[in-house]
Structure 1
Amino acid sequence: MLAVQFVIVLLAIYLGARLGGIAIGFAGGFGVLVLTLVCQINPGKIPFDVLQIIMSVIAAIAAMQVAGGMDYLVSLAEKLLRKNPKYITFLAPVVTYFMTIFAGTGHTAFSTMPVIAEVAKGQGIRPSRPLSIAVVASQIAITASPISAAVVFTAGLLEPVGVSYLMLLAICIPTTFVAVMLTSIISNFLGCELKDDPVYKDRLAKGLVSSAVAEKIVIKPGAKLSVLLFLIGIVAVMLYATAISKSVGLIANPILGRDDAIVVFMLTIATMICVLCKINTGDILNAGTFKSGMSACICVLGVAWLGDTFVQAHINEIKEVSGSLLQEHSWLLAIILFFAATLLYSQAATAKALLPAALAIGVSPVGIVASFAAVSALFVLPTYPTLIAAVQMDDTGSTRIGKYVFNHPFLIPGVVAIALSVLFGFIVGNIVI
C-alpha cells in the first residue's frame, strides 16, 4: 500500500504541475481526498502556521506596493544596474537576493527582470546569464529571509534542539549569498556570446528585438515611508523573536509566540501604511504581490497537507528504511529536499512536509540547517512563474527552454548554487552549532 499511496501523491502533484499555477494546490487537496477516503489513512495536519505567516507578510507587502514602496525599491535597483552595466551578471543576483530577503517572497524579482534584460542587451551581454542567476538568487534567498514562512517554520522546528532563529539566519544568509555570488561567476561563461547566438541573429534580422527605453518610474509621495515602515516591521520581528528565544531569555513567558508575533507585527505595519501613506485599501486586493501571495497560500495548503498526510501515515516505515542512512550521511537529506521541492514548488511546503520527519528519524540539526537551501530547487522544471517571466522578458531569445525541457539556462546555475550553499552550510554549521 505504501507504494500505491506514493504513486497517488506523485500523480496528484503531476496533475497540479500540468495544470499550472494555483492548480497544484487544488490537486494537493484532491490527493488528500483519495488518500483518506479511498486508502483510509488519517489526514495530516493542515499547515495553518505557515499559511498565517504568508498571508500576513503578503498583506503588508501588498500595502507597501500600493503605496509605491515596490516602485521605489525597483528604482534604486535600476540605478545600481544602469550605473554598472558591465557587471550586470554579478549585480542582478545581488538585487534579487536582497529584495527577496527584505520582502520574504521571490516574486519581487518580477519587477527587476525587464531592467536586467534591457541593461544586458544594451551591453551586448547574453541576457540569459544575469536573468538565470537572478531568478535562482530570488529563490534561494527565501531560505535566508527573516520573514519567510520557510525560515520561520524551520527556526521553530530547530529551536528545541539548540538552533535559535538568529543562529539559523547567521548560517543561512552568508552561506547562500556567497554561493550565489560564486555561481554568478560561472553563469558569466554559460552559453555563447550574444552576437554569436543564431536565435538572436534570426530575431534581430526579423526586427523582433526591441530597443525601446523603459519608462521612468514615478515615485508616489508615500513610497519611501512605506518602505521604512516595512523595514521597521522586519526589525521588530527579529528583535522580538530573539527576545523570546530560550537561548536569550529576555522574555521568559511571552504572551505572543513567534508565529503570532509575526502576524501581529505585519498586520500592524499594513495598518500603519494604510493610515500614514493614505492609500486606497481596495487597491490592495488587485496588487500583483497580493494575488501571487494568496495563490502561494493555496499551493502550500494543498501540497503541504498532501505531503504531511503521506509522511505521517508511513513515518515508521520511513524511519526503518532511511533513518540510519540519513543519520550517517545527513547530506543525503539535501538531495531528498531538492527533488521534493522540484515537485512541490514551494520552499515552505517542502520544509513543512519533510523537515519534521527528518528530525524525527535522527538527522542532526547541522544536517537540517545545511540542507535547508535545497528546498529552493524550484527551477528544475521550467514552469515556475519567475522562470517563465524571465524567458518572456528576454526578446533576444537567449533565455529559452530547449526541446528536451530540462536544457534551459536556469538548471546549471541553480544546481551549482544549491550545492555550494549546502557545502558551505555544513562547514559553517559545524563551527557555529
Structure 2
Amino acid sequence: MEIFLAIVQACVVLGAIVLGVRMGGIGLGLWGVVGTGVLVFGFGLAPGDLPIDAFFIIIAVITASAAMQAAGGIDYLVGIASKIIRANPKRLTYVAPLVAFAFTALSGTSNIFFALIPVIYETAYRNGQRPERSLAASTVTSGLGITASPVSAAMAAYLVLVEPQGFPLPRILMITVPAAIVACIVTSFVQQRIGKELIDDPKFLKRVEAGEVEMPPVLAAKYRAKLAAEGGAGGGVGGSSSADAAGSATATDAGNDTSSGSGGSPASTVEATAPHEQPVPKGGRSSAWVFIAAIIVIVALGLFPSIRPQVPTGDDGETEAISMSIVIEILMFTAALVIMIMRKVKPAKVLDQSLMASGFIAAIALFGIAWMADTFIGGNQETIIDPLGDLITHAPLLLAVALFIVCGLTTSQSATTNMIVPIAIAAAVAPGVITAMWPSLIGVWLFPANGSQIAAVETDRTGTTKLSPVPIWHSFTIPMLVSWVAVVGVGLLIQLIP
C-alpha cells in the first residue's frame, strides 16, 4: 500500500511539473505550490522546508543585475563580447562559445547571450562560414556558464544544498569552471566539422537562388567559378538567378570598399560593411565593474572563510563563519544600491528591466518546485528515495542521466537541481561526485523549447541552423551531447584530485 501511495504521489509531482511547463513563466512555480498542497492536504505529508535562502539569493542577484542593466552595464559587457568575437573571425567556432560561456558565468544569466546571437551570425556570414557551427555551439556552451557562475539561480539552489555537506562555493567552482572550459573547447572542435561548407550547402544555395539571402561577398568569386564549372551562368545547378545573386553580392562588395584601390579583399569587405556598434550608455562601464567587483568579493569570501564575520553557534561560546547564502544576499543587494546611487538610476527603472522579470520568474519557479520536491522526498524517504539512492550509489552515472533528462523536460536548471540533487545527497553520494555530474543540466537544450534556440534558428537566414520534425534532433543536439560527455568526464577526473 505504501508503494502504491508513493507512486500516486510521484504522479502528482510529475503532473504538476508537466502542467507548469505547459503554462510557462511563473506557472511552473505556481503548479509546484499546488502540488505541495495536494501532497499535504490530500496525502497528509508534512510540508517540506521552504527554500528561503535560495529564493532570496536569486532575488538579490537579479536586483543587482537589473540595476546594472538599467545603468547600461549589460550593454557594456555585450560590447566587449562583440569586439572579442569580431576580432577573431577565423577562429569564430572556438572563440564565440568561450565568450558565450564566460559572459554567462560572469552575469549569472544566459539572457546576455541573446544580444550576442546576431553578432555571431553576422561575423560567420560575412566571413563565408557556416553559421550553424558557431551559433549552435555558443548556444549550448552558454548553458555551461550557469553551473560555473557564482551568482546564477541554479548555483543559488545548489549551494544551499551542498554547503551544509562541507562543500563550499570555491570547491564547486574548482570543478565546474575548468570542466566547462574543456567542454567548450571539445565542443568547438567537433562542431567545426559539422555540416557542409556554406558554398556547398544545398539548402543555402536554394535560398540564394530564390533571392531570400545573398551570397556572402567573400564567397562570390568562388561561387561564380563553381557555377561555371557546373554548366555556366545560364544553366547547370545554379542557373542565372544564382549568378545574379552572386553578382549582386560582388557589386555590393565593390561599392562598399573604399579602403583599397585594387578592387578590395575579403578582409576589407568585412571591415567596410561591419554593423554599427550600439553606443554604451554613460555609466555602463562603471556599473558593470561594480557588479563584477561584488562577484570577486563573493568568491574571495568563499575561498577564505576566516575573513567572513564570525557568529556564535550557541551558548558554548563557539563561533562559525556566516553562510555564503547570507554573503551573496548582502553583497548583491549592496551592489544594486551602489549602482543606483552612483548612476542615479531610479528604482522604478530597475523594476522595468527584462532581467528583473526573468529573475522573478526563476525565483517563483524554484520556490514552488523545491518546496514540492522536499515535501515528496521527506514523505517517501524509505519507500522511494532510499531505493533510488542505492541505485545511484551502485551506478553513479544514473545521476547524470537523471539531471540531463529532467532538466530537458522542465527546462529549468534550478528546479531540476532541487528535485534531483537531494536524492543524491540522501544516498550519501560524495559532494564532489554530485558536483561533477551537476553540469548535466546542459540537458536544458534537449528540446527546442528555449528562447536562445529559437532566436538562433530565426536569426540564421542561411538556413543552416535548424530544427527538425523529430523534437530531440536539431542543430543543438550534437554540441549538447558532446558538451555533456566532456563536462561530466572532466569533472569526475578533477574531483579525484585531493
The question of a shared fold, defined as TM-score above 0.5 by the shorter chain, is answered with yes
Shift of 1:208: 3.4
Would the aligned equivalents of 2:309 and 2:322 in 1 still touch at CA under 8 Å? Answer: no
1:290 maps to: 356
1:59 is displaced (CA, Å) by 0.9
Q: Which residue of the partner structure matches residue 468 of structure 2? A: 402
Residue equivalent to 1:329: 395
CA distance in 1, matches of 2:47, 2:200: 55
Distance 2:174 2:357 in 1: 31
AA aligned to 1:189 is R
User: Which residue in 2 is equivalent to 1:173?
Assistant: 177
Which residue does the alignment assign to 1:141? 145
Q: CA deviation at 1:67?
A: 1.1
CA-based RMSD of the aligned residues comes to 2.3
For residue 222 of structure 1, the aligned residue among 253, 261, 283 is: 283
Runs of at least 5 residues in structure 2 that lack an aligned partner in the other structure: 217-272, 312-318
Q: Secondary structure at the match of 2:473?
A: coil
Aligned to 2:50: 46
Rounded to whole Å, the distance in 2 between the matches of 1:192 and 1:15 is: 40
Q: Which residue is 1:76 aligned to?
A: 80
- Amino acid across the alignment from 1:209: V
Work out the CA distance in 2 between the residues paired with 1:189 and 1:3.
45
Q: Is the 8 A contact 2:436 2:491 kept in 1?
A: yes
C-alpha contact 1:105 1:148 (8 A) present in aligned 2:
yes
Identify the match of residue 492 of structure 2 among 409, 426, 429.
426
Q: Distance in 1 between matches of 2:327 and 2:348?
A: 26
Partner of 1:113 in structure 2? 117
Shift of 1:83: 1.4
Shift of 1:249: 8.1
Match of 2:158 in 1: 154
* 1:239-259 deviation per Cα after TM superposition (whole angstroms, max 9, x unaligned): 2233336xx888473674321
Equivalent in the alignment of 1:261: 327
Q: Output the amino acid matched with 1:218.
A: P
Structure 2 distance, partners of 1:423, 1:348, is: 22
Deviates more, 1:218-227 or 1:305-314: 305-314
In the alignment, structure 1 residue 361 sits paired with structure 2 residue 427: yes
Shift of 1:329: 2.6
| TM-score, normalisation: structure 2 | 0.81
Query: Residues 166 and 399 (structure 1 numbering): CA distance in 2 closer, same or farther, change over 3 Å?
Result: same
Distance change >3 Å, CA 250–CA 330, structure 1 → 2: farther
Partner SS for 1:144:
coil
Q: What pairs with 1:29-68 in structure 2 (closer than 5 Å)?
A: 29-68=33-72
Name the CA shift for 1:20/1:206 in 2 (closer, same or farther; >3 Å): farther
Q: For residue 243 of structure 1, what is the aligned residue in structure 2?
A: 304
Q: Deviation digits for residues 326-371 of structure 1, max 9, x if unmatched?
A: 2233222111111121223222222222222211112122321211
| Structure label with greater radius of gyration | 2
Answer yes or no: is 1:373 the counterpart of 2:439. yes
SS at match of 2:467: coil
User: Contact 2:168–2:302 at 8 Å: present in 1 too?
Assistant: no
What CA deviation, in whole Å up to 9, does each residue of 1:68-122 have, x standing for no partner? 1111111111111111112111111111111111111122111111101111111
Aligned to 2:293: 232
Runs of 4+ in 1 over 6 A off after TM superposition: none
2:245 matches 1:184: no
Output the CA distance in 2 between the equivalents of 1:154 and 1:427.
20
Greater shift, 274-283 or 81-90, is seen at 274-283
Give the Cα separation in 2 of the matches to 1:226 and 1:431: 38
1:154 is displaced (CA, Å) by: 3.0
- Identify the residue that residue 260 of structure 2 maps to in structure 1: none
- Count of aligned positions: 430
- 1:159 Cα deviation after fit: 3.8
> Is residue 102 of structure 1 aligned with residue 106 of structure 2?
yes
State which of 21, 27, 40 in structure 2 corresponds to 1:23. Answer: 27
Where 1:431 maps in the other structure, the secondary structure is coil
